[in-house]
Structure 1
Amino acid sequence: MTKQSIYKSEEGKRLITQHYEDYIKSLKKEIFPNLTTFKTYDMGHFPSKKHIKNMNSEMLEFLVKHDY
């Protein structure tokens, strides 16, 4: 399997995404020492209305849960 074919395969994309998420998670304490939640979404650069509604709902739940 070539490097380019890995990037094009769904499994390759998932592994690359997971690698970057793990890397960011490893830095989160250093960058945001009081970070309470870390969440990622699997979507394109411009989210659909469904994704936006889902994110807004989850953000509101977080704010209510943490008394903001």
Structure 2
Amino acid sequence: MSIISSTDHSSTASTTTTLSQRLTAAVCASILGACLVYFAGFSHIEAVHNAAHDTRHSSAFPCH
């Protein structure tokens, strides 16, 4: 009886990002977040209003 030993060599891909790429991603995420908050906060669509109603009031965000 022989035991075959094998080693698993997994390669990890590492990516480097520059400061400008990270700043661009942060700015884009901030703009998207602000748009979502604005949309949910001032939407006249009843389903959106009801879905976010309690959260808005608990964080003192006006909706009426």
Q: Same fold (TM over 0.5)?
A: no
Structure having the higher helix fraction is 1
Decide which structure has the larger Cα Rg and report it. Answer: 2
Query: Which interval holds the TM-score relative to the shorter structure?
Result: 0.3 to 0.5
TM-score, reference length from structure 2 = 0.36
